[in-house]
Homo-oligomer: A and B are copies of this chain.
Amino acid sequence: MSASDPVDGALARSQAARRRRVIDATLELAAGGGFDGVQMRDVAAEAGVALGTVYRYFESKERLLLEANLEQVEALRVLLADRPPTGDTAADRVVDVLRRASRTQTRRPEATAAMVRALGSARPEESDAVARVSDAMTGIITRAMHDGEPSERDRAVARVLSQVWLSSLVGWVGGVDGADVVADDLERAARMLIS
């Protein structure tokens, strides 16, 4: 973790393994019981590390969930690289991406609820993690529009869509709307914004 941080070696490897076990335990507990199901003592026990160790790797419960969420979004990006969005127009492709994303998330309600709640209640200490999630999402959207560098307007549209995406999920997690509303909101917004 310091300047002389060896990228390899036994220490680095065991640390990477610990980090992985902690994230995996988080995902599992989140899938079972949502935000409240992720209790730091349980995460530590499930990962086979001490509570203090969890806090050395992740400064708070929210950061832990945000980092776990980032992995999920990255997984979506990888999936999309393998199976690109289908559709003849940019709007269709974006709708396809958003639909797949929201389906993935509403399929695992508890885990998504945990991560959305972490996003929605983030404090400035976690701003970098929030920004990474947000950037990943807008990147996924602009990439669905067309190949090559996105225009300024493309980026603005993608930003709005990622904001609608977050708010919809907040509404869904908060029990205001059903899962179908999330998908509908996103499709309607995409079609209004992409001529």
A contact residues vs B (CB 8 Å cutoff): 35, 117, 119-127, 130-131, 134, 156-157, 159-160, 162-164, 166-168, 170-171, 173-176, 185, 188-189, 192-193
Bound complex: CA A168 to CA B130 (Å)? 12
With a cutoff of 8 Å between Cβ atoms, the chain B residues found around residue A176 in the complex are: 127, 130-131, 134
The residue in chain B whose Cβ has the minimal distance to the Cβ of A36 is B123
Bound complex: CA A130 to CA B123 (Å)? 20
Bound complex: CA A122 to CA B134 (Å)? 20
> Given contacts A160-B192, A163-B164, are A121 and B121 in contact (CB under 8 A)?
yes
The residue in chain B whose Cβ has the minimal distance to the Cβ of A168 is B163
Bound complex: CA A81 to CA B172 (Å)? 31
With a cutoff of 8 Å between Cβ atoms, the chain B residues found around residue A174 in the complex are: 122-124, 126-127, 130
